[in-house]
């Protein structure tokens, strides 16, 4: 199932759509908390603060969108309120672990430097994905005439990607070579995640 096709199925079923929004909200929240966790207690700069604040806003905004389509809100991020909960939880966690492993093998970094480098590369990969996923989602929303809107998120994610590129430029001249590897890791995990969601939706449709 292509992403487009999958999103159409999701948007056309309110209950599934609510879970999808909650799943995205969960991922935004995990991302926000990861960014905050990577902050240096005293050296944290304006870009990092802005980034964390905006990811938290996305988590909150997506959660609020659920009320536009259904009254049965997804109260929290328990597995019954998420799509493919296991795969969803594993996605960012595995990306983190695999990225750290790669960075440790290719750089000699202190613990603090590793944390910052992981923040740069993981967040970069997530922003590349966000810049692909949200516009496709918005296109489907518009075409289906849904009240849900993610345009404000798209704008901010574009800004984030530029900011990550800027920070990576400062971190290491050859960052693009390394980023390629991280994007490959992310792509595999993303495929796995989409596959799990597709399977779950097909199962529900045939139930």
Contact residues: Fe ion, CB under 5 A = 28, 55, 58, 157, 160
Which letter, b or e, does each residue of 119-147 get, where b requires 16 or more Cβ atoms within 10 Å of its Cβ?
bbbbbbbbbbbbeebbeebbebbeeeebe
Tokens coding 52 = 């964390």
Residue 143 CB, shortest distance to Fe ion, in Å, is 23
Nearer to Fe ion, 168 or 201 (CB): 168
- Number of residues written out for the chain: 207
Residue 110 CB, shortest distance to Fe ion, in Å, is 26
Nearer to Fe ion, 55 or 200 (CB): 55
Residue 207 CB, shortest distance to Fe ion, in Å, is 32
Nearer to Fe ion, 83 or 122 (CB): 122
Distance CA 54, CA 44 (A): 16
Nearer to Fe ion, 65 or 200 (CB): 65
Residue 116 CB, shortest distance to Fe ion, in Å, is 17
């Amino acid at each position: 199932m292509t992403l487009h096709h999958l999103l159409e199925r999701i948007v056309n079923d309110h209950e599934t759509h609510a879970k999808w929004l909650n799943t995205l909200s969960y991922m935004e929240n995990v991302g926000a908390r990861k960014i905050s966790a990577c902050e240096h207690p005293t050296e944290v700069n304006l870009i990092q603060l802005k980034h964390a604040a905006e990811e938290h806003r996305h988590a909150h905004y997506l959660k609020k969108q659920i009320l536009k389509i259904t009254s049965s809100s997804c109260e929290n991020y328990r597995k019954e309120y998420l799509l493919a909960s296991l795969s969803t939880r594993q996605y960012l966690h595995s990306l983190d672990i695999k990225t750290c492993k790669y960075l440790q093998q290719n750089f000699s970094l202190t613990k603090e430097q590793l944390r910052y480098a992981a923040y740069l590369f993981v967040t970069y990969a997530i922003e590349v994905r966000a810049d692909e996923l949200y516009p496709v989602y918005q296109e489907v929303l518009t075409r289906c005439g849904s009240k849900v809107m993610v345009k404000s998120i798209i704008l901010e994610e574009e800004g984030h990607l530029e900011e990550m590129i800027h920070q990576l430029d400062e971190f290491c001249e050859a960052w693009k070579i390394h980023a390629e590897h991280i994007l490959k890791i992310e792509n595999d995990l993303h495929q796995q995640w989409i596959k799990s969601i597709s399977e779950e939706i097909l199962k529900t449709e045939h139930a």
